[in-house]
Structure formats: C-alpha cells, structure tokens
Copies of this chain bind each other. A is one copy, B any other.
Amino acid sequence: MRDRDWALDPALRARHTAFERYFAGVMPPGHELPPRLHQAMRYGALAPGKRVRPLLVLAACEAVGGRWRDALPAAAAIECVHAFSLVHDDLPAMDDDDYRRGRLTTHKKYGEALGLLAGDALLALAFEELVRLIARGVTAARAAEAVRVLARASGSRELIAGQVLDLEAERRRPDARGVRDIHERKTGALIAAALELGALAGGGRARMRATFARLGRSLGLAFQIHDDLLNRDSSLARLGKRAGTDQARGKATWPAAVGEERALRDRVRLFARVRRAIDRLGPRAHRLALLVDAIARRER
C-alpha cells in the first residue's frame, strides 16, 4: 500500500497500523497443522489493503464514545468476512480471476481446493474472533448481537445474495434498480455492518445503531459507485487487475446503468449526504468524518 493511494491522517494511520498488527495475530500461524491451509488463509487475508471496513468499525466505536481498541476483534471479524468473500469470488466457479491487486489469487497460488477451504475457514474464524469482544469488556449480550448482525450481513439475504445477483447480471444487463440491489448487498451490507459493529462494541444505543445502519447503506453505495468509476478509468498498473474488466465481462456497474455523468453526480451527492449525517453526530464523530473523506478521495 503506497501512501498516495490511501491518504490517512496520522491518527487514522496509527489505527491502520494497530489493526494490521492485531489482524496478523488473529490468523493462525502458517506452520500450524494443516500448514498449507493456514498459509492460504494468511495469503488471502493479510495482503496489504486499505482495511476500509475495519477502520470504519474502529471509527464508529469512537463516534459513540467507545475506545477503538475494544473494537479490534469486531474489526478483525469483518475483515475475515471480506477476505472470505474475495477468495471465493475469485474461484473458477465464480469470476475465475487469476490476479487480484497484482498478486496471484489464493486458489491460483494454493490450488482450488485450498482456495475453497481457506475461504470457508476465514468465515468461521470471523465468528470465533467476534466473541473475543467479551474479553475486551463488551457485554455478552452485545457480543451476541454482533454475531447476529455479522451473520446476517454475510448471509443469503445480504452479501451472498449480492454475489448471486451479480453473477445473474452477467447474462441480462440490469437497470439502475438492479445494479443498486447488487451494490447494496454485495458492498453495502458489510459497510453497514462495520458501522453497526463499531457502535455495538462502543456501547452505542439502539437508535444510534439504526442511524449507523442507514448511513452505512448510503456509504456502501457511494463507495461502490466510486469503485465502479475507478475501475473504468484505471490501468493494470494502478488497480492490479486489467482495467475495465468489469465492463468487458458485462458486470453490473453504476456508470453502465445510468451513464457516466449521472454516476459522477451520484457519487458526490451520496458522499455529501453521508458527511452531513456524520456531522450531526457531533465532535466525537470527527475521526469517522475524516475516514469518509479519505474513502471519497481514494485513488484505488
């Protein structure tokens, strides 16, 4: 990760670094039996990354008055789910990608069986990790609620529904409504869950959690529209996979559905809406506001 791609202020950068260290410790060591499985999990999860979802967890925790370190297990759990979804998305039965961010995909490096099983194991690990919130002083009731939120966001009505709709969209070009349905599930569900988990870990009230869930939906859509626009522009060197592959594959993207001009306007409008909602949360949400600005500015 080069700094120019992901310009974080010093406090956010410190959280990024702390998360990376924590997350590496969550992954089973590569020498543990069965070694190749654990190496494949580490390969799939520990590639350098922006860690958008974990940083959202930590910032949301602070925004409700919690200590961000208490939310580290929730941040790790959501990154496990994200990594699981990427590893499985790249499999031959799905998008059949050989490269992601300029590196071989997990199944290209470790074989298809280990790609499949490493993904499975990352999903299971997410829930094992989430329970560790209790050791950081989060109540068992809140930890259990976090399990419910993450399981639902990862499941057949949200994240996995998005993957199915995305595959189906390759055959019939979806309209704006169809693309929105995909983006809200495939991207929005985990972004919204990140904010909800942070609020849960930080002791936020039910009303706050509902606000965050709603705000997360808009942020998820903004994030994905931004991604669609970057994918359209970028070259192999920048994005690490062939530019415009989404388009070539007939993937459902927002610019393809509504045109580039409207997509550019929607991006601005949605990020602005998210920022206004965060500003209303008061000074504690300052870090979350900075993070959203960094997300809106990211160049890959």
Contacts and interface: CB of A to CB of B under 8 A. Distances in A.
A108 to B, nearest CB: 13
A14 interface: no
Contacts of A91: 93, 116
Given A120-B120, A124-B123, A131-B148, A32 B141 contact: no
Contacts of A143: 140, 144
A103 interface: no
Interface stretch (A35-43, A63-71, A272-280): A35-43
Contacts of A115: 93
Interface stretch (A2-10, A151-159, A214-222): A151-159
A117 interface: yes
List of 10 A-B pairs having minimum Cβ-Cβ separation, nearest first:
A128-B151, A121-B156, A93-B112, A140-B140, A124-B155, A140-B141, A127-B151, A34-B164, A124-B154, A131-B148
12 contacts: A28-B156, A34-B164, A37-B156, A114-B164, A117-B164, A120-B160, A121-B160, A124-B151, A124-B154, A131-B147, A134-B141, A134-B144
Contacts of A156: 28, 34, 37-38, 41, 117-118, 121, 124-125
A147 B121 contact: no
Residue from the set A84, A140, A144, A156 with the largest chain B CB neighbour count within 10 Å? A156
A12 interface: no
A299 to B, nearest CB: 31
A248 interface: no
A24 to B, nearest CB: 15
Contact of A161 (B34, B116, B141, B163): B34
B28 A157 contact: yes
B121 A155 contact: yes
A168 interface: yes
Given A134-B144, A157-B28, A36 B164 contact: yes
